[in-house]
Structure 1
């Protein structure tokens, strides 16, 4: 996590404030003394623009597919919808989370198609 934080140009205090944690708590996360909750890990991924694999020490970000590199627009990062999604993700078990991650990666990898114009049905 430290390498991603340094690459993003954050101090521990800056990053802790951006994810809503005390600097002491973030320091323990970075040193591996405690694991982040799923919502906290998501906020870290958004703030550091890194995938959970790198932040949890499983794979360097360069080896991840492009789709796994998270980019959430700042205006959505703290929206009610994202907070609700984080609460729901926090209730899921390991295999359920893996399935959700695969679905998200599949959607991100799919080329974007232009939206069809809907006709008003009156």
Structure 2
């Protein structure tokens, strides 16, 4: 493994994640890796596969050149045909959604009823 490249990719990914106000768990979920694996990647402890690198570029809105340390820091250029980016959610809402996704259907329904009752207050 090229430790210098791994460190460069990790630092660039961390900077991009911070700009987007995402947690490591948020990014890990979006690129379909375990949170621990993503943390190791950010610390420069591993190199991502090409497929994971592409997912990182997409989810962190950066170019591959930026992650590889070949370009100046900054968001990747966008094209008019790119889909609009969803508005940022608060970290606590993202954490809640991750938890809800793991619940059984009956528990989700019950949670929905509680949330609706709280919303009427």
TM-score of the pair, normalised by structure 1: 0.50
Structure 1: runs of 5 or more not aligned: 75-122
- Structure 1 residue 63 displacement after superposition: 9.4
CA gap of 1:48–1:63, structure 2 versus 1, over 3 A, is closer
CA distance in 2, matches of 1:58, 1:30: 17
CA gap of 1:63–1:20, structure 2 versus 1, over 3 A, is closer
Paired residue secondary structure (1:21): coil
Deviations 1:31-68 (A, max 9, x none): 1111111110111000011001222233333497x36x
Q: Which has the higher contact order (CA 8 A, sep 6+)?
A: 2
CA distance in 2, matches of 1:55, 1:32: 12
Deviations 1:65-118 (A, max 9, x none): x36x8x8538xxxxxxxxxxxxxxxxxxxxxxxxxxxxxxxxxxxxxxxxxxxx
Aligned to 2:68: 56
Structure 2: runs of 5 or more not aligned: 1-12, 85-121
How many residue pairs were aligned? 71
CA distance in 2, matches of 1:72, 1:19: 19
Q: Which has the larger radius of gyration?
A: 2
Paired residue secondary structure (1:61): coil
